[in-house]
């Protein structure tokens, strides 16, 4: 007899506005105490000093975490000039200094070099694994982890305020982009040193500050209020993929892992209405009466379940 899972059978997303001073893991722990879900995870770590959007998935929503991790993210941050720190943020120790300070025109001149697909070396103090160990654990033990450059994508990078010793920026970027690395590299190109003084994540895909909830406010709620007022539906993070309505018997077949074949004219018309009638592989959200059934992939007239939701 299968052992009953501990916790509540609750699924959805908490769009948390994480405060400064907490790790992402600590924030998850506090959300867990409010909602006690059977499963919980987050999409995109925030450093303790950083604030802003930390998407937290509960229950079956954990199956959609990769979609959120791959979404574009928006950050605002302050770069402080004249010092480089071992963590590349305000919490680290000073390792180099420079008397040079870039002018506003200097900064505007280098911004195009950091837009598009660029190579970026992650900070030594990061969660990247090297031979099975986190880079930050190696760095804290006195070792110098070998951080390999990797390609990241920056869609926009703009200067929003300039002061003699620091500057404020807004950036929209793809998965795996480190703001700390960006500021470090930008400072070096400007002939100085720099680190991230503060950092706020304003959006992760469709999750924004406008629909976020503070941790303090969430912790003031009881379980029922949190479900009704703070929990977003599983499909809230899937607004950029098409929804494919299915019939009850089709939903049952998908849930059992079976492939659907849409070869009749009415069925194929359903696919084409949702942009799924071509031969190329595309993913969609199969829904029955508005409720998520499965993430599916179409191959021509065939619909294959990729992730099935047990809601």
Structure tokens at 164: 């003699």
Strands 207-208 and 194-204: antiparallel
Active site residue 47: yes
Catalytic residue among 17, 47, 88, 185: 47
Residues 6+ positions from 169 with CB-CB distance below 8 Å = 76, 77, 78, 79, 157, 158, 159, 160
Residue 241, number of CB atoms within 10 A of its CB: 17
The CA R_g of the chain, rounded to the nearest whole Å, is 23
Which helix (H) or strand (E) element contains residue 29? helix 24-35
Which helix (H) or strand (E) element contains residue 162? strand 150-163
Residue 34, number of CB atoms within 10 A of its CB: 19
Q: Is 204:68 a contact under the CB 8 Å cutoff?
A: yes
Q: Is 64:307 a contact under the CB 8 Å cutoff?
A: yes
| Cα angle, residue 277 at apex, residues 272 and 278 outer, rounded to 5° | 145
As a whole number of angstroms, the longest Cα–Cα distance in the chain is 73
Give the catalytic positions in this structure: 47
């Amino acid at each position: 007899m299968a052992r009953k899972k501990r916790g509540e059978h609750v699924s959805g997303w908490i769009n948390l506005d994480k405060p400064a001073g907490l790790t992402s893991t600590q924030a998850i722990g506090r959300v867990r105490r409010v909602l006690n879900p059977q499963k919980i995870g987050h999409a995109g770590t925030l450093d303790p000093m950083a604030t802003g959007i930390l998407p937290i998935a509960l229950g079956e929503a954990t199956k959609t975490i990769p979609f959120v991790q791959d979404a574009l993210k928006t950050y605002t941050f302050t770069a402080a000039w004249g010092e480089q720190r071992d963590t590349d943020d305000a919490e680290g120790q000073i390792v180099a200094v420079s008397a040079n300070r870039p002018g506003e025109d200097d900064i505007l001149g280098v911004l195009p070099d950091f837009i598009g697909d660029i190579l970026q070396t992650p900070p030594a103090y990061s969660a990247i694994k090297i031979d099975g160990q986190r880079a930050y654990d190696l760095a804290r033990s006195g070792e110098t982890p070998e951080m390999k450059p990797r390609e990241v994508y920056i869609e926009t990078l703009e200067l929003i305020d300039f002061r003699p010793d620091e500057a404020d920026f807004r950036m929209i970027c793809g998965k795996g982009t480190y703001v700390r690395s960006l500021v470090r590299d930008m400072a070096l190109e400007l002939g100085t040193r720099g680190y991230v003084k503060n950092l706020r994540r304003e959006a992760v895909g469709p999750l924004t500050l406008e629909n976020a909830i503070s941790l303090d406010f969430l912790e003031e709620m009881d379980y029922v209020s949190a479900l009704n007022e703070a929990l977003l539906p599983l499909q809230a993070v899937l607004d950029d993929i098409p929804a494919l309505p299915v019939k009850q018997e089709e939903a049952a077949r998908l849930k059992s892992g079976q492939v659907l074949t849409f070869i009749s004219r009415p069925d194929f018309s359903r696919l084409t209405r949702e942009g799924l009638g071509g031969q190329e592989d595309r993913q969609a959200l199969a829904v029955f009466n508005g409720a998520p059934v499965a993430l599916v992939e179409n191959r021509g007239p065939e619909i294959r379940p990729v992730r099935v939701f047990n809601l």
